[in-house]
Structure formats: structure tokens, C-alpha cells
Amino acid sequence: MQLTGLHHLTAITADAPGNNRFYTQTLGLRRVKKTVNQDDTSAYHLFFADGAGSPGTDITFFDWPTAPERRGTNAITRTGLRVTEDSLDFWADRLNGLAGRITTQDGRAGLDVEDPEGQRLRLIAAPAPAGHPWDGSDIPAEHQIRGLGPITISVPDLAPTAALLTQVMNMRQVRDYASPDGQGQVHVFEMGEGGAAAELHVAVQPGLPQARQGAGGVHHVAFRVPDTAALTAWTDRVAGFRVPSSGEVERFYFRSLYFREPGGNLFELATDGPGFDVDEPRETMGEGLSLPPFLEGRRAQIEAGLKPLA
């Protein structure tokens, strides 16, 4: 029983128009779904991914009018975005002034960058299939972002988090390295077939203050399961270990299970399907406001409460 990799990462923005510009124009990702937070319909939920909206390629944002994140531990601290090794020089030139220099961490070359709100990203050279480039991007297909991974979280104590990752979630602890910020050690856990798209990096940093979630921070990270039958098996497994959870939640584009690891970080298990083209053609998905069926009757009210993205 294995998770197959990273599914998506959901972060927080207080500037939806600026966020939309940065991830589509600067990073060249495709906006594959423009919808709302199903638990707070006053907020956009924007999904940016590869050209097909493939599982494992999307970084998503809740649009909330909130203060900036206060950085610290008990938080998801950096999001890896995979590119080919030949692409790092291209990205260093494109992100001139926004990114640091190319460095090697955990044996992989990469480029640290922050979005305009301080969202911490790292473009990482890692083997990846060609995937589904977006032909609406001005970035050449060979240099486009291929997907997520790895994701780094920070906790003050390794043991309880490691127990959940290995005993409940069936991850494997495979190696460690010194944290590049000089604070503690990072322990690498992998799932499925391994590799950057299937790794969670756990930085143990008891000397840091507790983070406060906000704009430029991360809300949760999701891991892939193939289908609803597999999700139900995981739901039973999590319950069997007496880990409190949301129970299965229907998100229309996928089905989910939520629970927190002992360090307080929110995890989600999400199915690969049915996908973002379940309610609109793949060619035009993400252009208009999509609502799941249970919200469709409130469309006029919801649209009236959203700001324009352009």
C-alpha cells in the first residue's frame, strides 16, 4: 500500500491578480482551474499546472485578505518545482533579480526564488518525463516546469513526524543533509518509486519560533492515490492508527482525505481523477469560473463577491 507521489500543494495569496500574473506569465504555468474555496466561497481557488493539469504538477492558491506569513517551524517551508538540468541557466536569466544563484542541495542543482509575496520556491534539476507542455506559454517547451517536488516541511522534533510518515503513510526514510538555511538537519522520506516527485523533506528546527500562517505561506500539501478505492483503503488505515481526520471529502475534481502530522502541518491524500476537464473542455479549462455542482445554484452570488483577475 503506497502513495505514488506528490499531488498538489496549496498556498495562500492576498493578491489574486498579482499571483495569477506571476505563475502564468513569469513561471509560465497554465491556469487550469479558476474556482473558489469550497469551504469559503468568498475566496478564489486558483490552480496552476502543466498544459494538461496533470496530477503532481499543480500549485494552487487560496485568495485570502491576510497578513504575511511569519516564518518559522511547524510549517511547510519550500516548494520544489522540477525542471531539466539544461534549463537552470535559462531560468537564472529569466528570473534575474528574483532568484539567487544556482546551488547544489541534497545532490541536486537548483535555483531558489520567491514570488512577490515571499512564497519560497526552488527550481530543481531532476529527471522528469516531457509531460504536457502548455503551448500558451512563451517559455520553450523544453524549459517549462515539469511538476512538483520535493516539498520541505519544518518541525521541531523528528520522532513523532517520522513515526506517522513511516508507520501510517508507508514512506521510507532514505537519507539526510544539512539544512541550507543553517538551521538543523533535513531528513528525506520517499514514497512509491521515489525520486524528486515523490519526496517529502523534513527539516528538524527546534530553534525556530512557531510559524504563523499567512500570505506567502503554505496551507497544505497533498499526496497522490490512484482512485477512490485506494483512498477508502487509506481512510481506513488512518482511522486504524487513530489519527483524527476529515473523513473522505468530495472535491469534484478529486476526492480527498485530510489529517495533520504531529508537527501540525496539514496533509491531504487526493485521487488522481476525475481531473480538471470533468466540467469543461481541456482546451479552455481555467478560463472561466468553474463551480462544482453543489455550488452552481449560487453562481450569481459567488461571482458578485469575487474581484477581477485581469
Q: Is the pTM of this model over 0.95?
A: yes
HSE, side-chain direction, 13 A CA sphere, residue 58: 30
| Interatomic CA distance for residues 76 and 120, integer angstroms | 10
The per-residue pLDDT for 131 is 80
Return the residue matching grid coordinates 534575474.
96
Query: What percent of the chain is modeled with pLDDT above 90?
Result: 95
| Interatomic CA distance for residues 176 and 114, integer angstroms | 24
Domains of the chain: 5-305 (3.10.180.10)
Residue from 189, 251, 244, 226 nearest 235 by CA = 244
Cβ atoms 17, 234 nearer than 8 A? no
In order of 161, 266, 307, the CA distances from 235 in angstroms are 19, 15, 37
Q: pLDDT for 163-193, tens place per residue?
A: 999 999 999 999 999 999 999 999 999 999 9
The per-residue pLDDT for 129 is 75
Q: pLDDT for 97-154, tens place per residue?
A: 888 899 999 999 999 999 999 999 999 999 877 789 999 999 999 999 999 999 999 9
Please name the helix (run of DSSP H) or strand (run of DSSP E) that holds residue 94, with its range, or none: helix 88-94
| Interatomic CA distance for residues 233 and 79, integer angstroms | 28
The per-residue pLDDT for 87 is 96
| Interatomic CA distance for residues 206 and 211, integer angstroms | 12
Per DSSP, the chain holds a count of helices (H) and strands (E) of: 6, 16
The per-residue pLDDT for 150 is 98
> pLDDT under 50 in the chain at which residues?
none
The per-residue pLDDT for 145 is 97
